[in-house]
Structure 1
Amino acid sequence: MDPSDDCGALQFECPRCGHTETDDYEVIESGTAMDWRCGSCLRLFSVLLTECEHCGCESVHPALTGAEQANLNDVRCQHCGKPSLRHEELTESSEVL
């Protein structure tokens, strides 16, 4: 299996019932938590899409509510396991301000 295939499909599980969801139409906005309705249990939950600055793969992070979503700076890539954002670049850019 080609490793690039792993980061192609945006699939995630409903945190309430475990049903696998797919963002077929790419409606999830990167970096912003948004509501998603499960196709099985029909309940709402929160999803956060991030793009890894190390490997370029997108990861979807589900949570029961938006308030339970991880801080964007603490999110790890589901493909390579590294922090999605490069913290050293964030530190350097904040020092410039």
Structure 2
Amino acid sequence: MTYSCRSEVFSYQGNYNNALSDINKAIELKSDMEDLYIERASIYCKLGDYSKALIDINKSIELNPDYAMAYNNRSYIYSQLGDYFKANQDFIKAKELGFYK
């Protein structure tokens, strides 16, 4: 999807406003793709907005409960929010789903 790809480029360049604009458009067009929520969560993390990132990661997991990368990323977000118990639980879940082999 063009908006998603361009969002990644903008994010890589540090242009987070344009990255968010494009990923929001991609989600508007295809709201059932869990990867898009992971991508937006990543942008929110780069902006330090872990609360919004958590909402998107939860949506990604809702769409695909077996998505190992989502649990791994949520583990990171929980650690940034200081919830190390939940971070550890998600790290274990990601490993169980095969993220770390």
Q: TM-score, normalised by structure 1?
A: 0.27
Larger radius of gyration: 1
More helix by share: 2
Q: TM-score, normalised by structure 2?
A: 0.27
